[in-house]
Amino acid sequence: MAQRTQRTRKSRTDALSRERIVEAAVELLDADGEGGLTFRALTERLATGPGAIYWHVRNKDEMLGAATDAVVAAALDIEPAEPPASPQDEIRAVALGLFDAIDWHPWLATQLATQLSRSPWSSVTPRIIESIGQQVRALGVPKGSWFTASSALMHYILGAAGQNSANGRVLGAGVDRSEFLDSVSTAWEKLDPDDYPFTRAVADQLREHDDREQFLAGIALILTGITTAYPPA
Partner DNA sequence: ACCTGAACACCGTTCAAGT
Task: Indicate the helix (H) or strand (E) that contains 225.
Answer: helix 211-229
60 binds, among a copy of itself, DNA, none (CB under 5 to 8 A by kind): DNA
Q: Is 64 exposed, middle or buried (0-12, 13-18, 19+ CB in 10 A)?
A: buried
206 binds, among DNA, a copy of itself, none (CB under 5 to 8 A by kind): a copy of itself
Could you tell me the smallest distance in angstroms from the CB atom of residue 210 to a copy of itself? 11
> How does DSSP classify residue 13?
G
Alpha carbons 24 and 37: distance in angstroms, whole number:
9
| CA 73-76-80 angle, 5° bins | 135
| C-beta of residue 159 within 8 angstroms of C-beta of residue 99 | no
196 lies in the site for a copy of itself, by CB under 8 A:
yes
Per partner kind, with CB cut-offs from 5 to 8 A, the member of a copy of itself, DNA, none near residue 88 is: none
Instruction: Find the part of the chain contacting a copy of itself (CB under 8 A) among 6-14, 61-69, 82-90, 167-175.
Output: 167-175
**Site track for a copy of itself across 68-107, x = CB under 8 A:** --------------------------------------x-
Task: Report yes or no: 227 and 139 within 8 Å, Cβ to Cβ.
Answer: yes
Residue 49 sits in the site that holds DNA (CB under 7 A) = yes
Q: Which partner from the list DNA, a copy of itself, none does 7 bind, CB cut-off 5 to 8 Å by kind?
A: none
CA distance 212 to 96: 8
Q: Which of 143, 173, 193, 233 binds a copy of itself (CB under 8 A)?
A: 143
Beta-carbon contacts of 36 under 8 Å, excluding residues fewer than 6 positions away, are 28, 29
For 110, residues 6+ apart whose C-beta sits below 8 A from its C-beta are: 34, 162
Closest by alpha carbon to 191, among 177, 182, 181, 201?
A: 201
CA 105 to chain centre: 7
Question: Mask 78-107, x = binds DNA (CB under 7 A)?
Answer: ------------------------------
Residues that bind a copy of itself (CB under 8 A): 106, 109-110, 112-114, 116-122, 126, 129-130, 133-134, 136-137, 143-144, 146-152, 154-160, 162-163, 165-167, 169-170, 184, 187-188, 191, 195-199, 201-202, 205-206, 209, 214, 217-218, 220-226, 228-229
Residues that bind DNA (CB under 7 A): 8, 10, 15-16, 37-41, 47-52, 54-56, 59-61
